[in-house]
């Protein structure tokens, strides 16, 4: 019995450790660690220093020329921002925005953060809505963790319920188990967030994409 409990505790601790390792990735690189390390890894992917902005890297991403910025919190990378290097008109930005929406939608690595259709219709007057109504055009997706967490969820349930209960749970206990599993998975997904939006610059437009590791984001710890 003691050996069984020791193994269970080891598994639970492993889950907690692994959760911190499963963070958002940009080009396969974890959005984590020190900024200098991230810069080096991006340079290995072909990005170079921007001659006009010391805080940016330039390169090609998803078929477009982009500028990449790295945000940190407490000396840890928490966000990668990827901006179009070239401005475009309202018609072209609609096409680009819709193309990105469809690419994310069919990519199995992502789950839409909303059930709404993010794509923009031909009738949408982007220029008017952004200038007059200050409307934001954005779309968000959860990046699926690379791992299968079914074993981890099983471990958590085994830690909370006896073997007898797990074999024959009541209706109320079944509901609790579903809520525990859903909460665990939501935590894994919601902290791995990728979103993008249209920005305006003197009558022209560009898209900025944000790869966020919300484990590293400010959480009021400095208040």
Write the pLDDT tens digit of every residue in 35-72: 999 999 999 999 999 999 999 999 999 999 999 999 99
Q: Which residues of the chain have pLDDT under 70?
A: 1-21, 146-149
| CA distance linking residue 7 with residue 49, whole number of Å | 49
* Residues whose CB is less than 8 angstroms from the CB of residue 129 and which lie 6 or more positions away in sequence, other chains included: 135, 137
The pLDDT assigned to 89 comes to 97
Q: Residue with structure tokens 């981890």?
A: 152
Instruction: Match 């690379």 to its residue by tokens.
Output: 146
The answer to whether 80 and 30 have CB atoms below 8 angstroms apart is no
Residue 150 Cα distances to 67, 157, 172, 178, angstroms: 38, 11, 21, 12
Return the number of other C-beta atoms located less than 10 Å from residue 177's C-beta: 18
**Which pLDDT does position 83 carry in this prediction?**
98
DSSP state letter for 119: P
Q: In this predicted structure, what is the pLDDT of residue 146?
A: 66
pLDDT of residue 206: 98
Q: How far apart are CA 193 and CA 53, in angstroms?
A: 26
User: Among residues 166, 162, 158, 89, which one has the least CA distance to residue 126?
Assistant: 89
Determine the Cα–Cα distance for residues 85 and 73; give it in Å rounded to an integer.
Answer: 25
Full-model pTM: 0.78
Give the pLDDT confidence score for residue 5 in this predicted structure: 35
* Residue-level pLDDT at 46: 97
What pLDDT, on a 0 to 100 scale, did the predictor assign at position 155? 85
> Which residue shows structure tokens 């006009």?
52
């Amino acid at each position: 019995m003691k050996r069984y409990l020791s193994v269970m505790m080891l598994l639970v601790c492993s889950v907690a450790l692994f959760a911190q390792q499963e963070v958002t990735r940009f080009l396969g690189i974890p959005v984590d660690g020190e900024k200098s390390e991230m810069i080096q890894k991006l340079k290995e992917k072909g990005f170079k220093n921007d001659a006009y902005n010391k805080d940016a890297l330039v390169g090609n991403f998803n078929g477009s020329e982009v500028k990449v910025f790295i945000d940190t919190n407490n000396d840890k990378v928490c966000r990668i921002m990827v901006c179009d290097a070239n401005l475009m008109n309202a018609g072209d930005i609609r096409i680009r925005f819709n193309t990105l929406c469809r690419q994310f939608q069919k990519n199995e690595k992502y789950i839409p953060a909303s059930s709404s259709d993010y794509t923009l219709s031909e009738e949408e007057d982007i220029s008017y809505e952004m200038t007059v109504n200050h409307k934001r055009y954005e779309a968000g997706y959860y990046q699926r963790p690379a791992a299968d967490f079914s074993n981890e969820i099983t471990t958590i349930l085994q830690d909370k319920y006896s073997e007898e209960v797990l074999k024959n749970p009541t209706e109320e206990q079944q509901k609790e188990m579903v809520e525990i599993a859903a909460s665990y998975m939501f935590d894994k997904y919601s902290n791995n967030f990728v979103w993008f939006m249209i920005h305006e610059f003197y009558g022209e437009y560009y898209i900025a994409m944000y790869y966020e590791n919300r484990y590293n984001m400010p959480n009021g710890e400095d208040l």
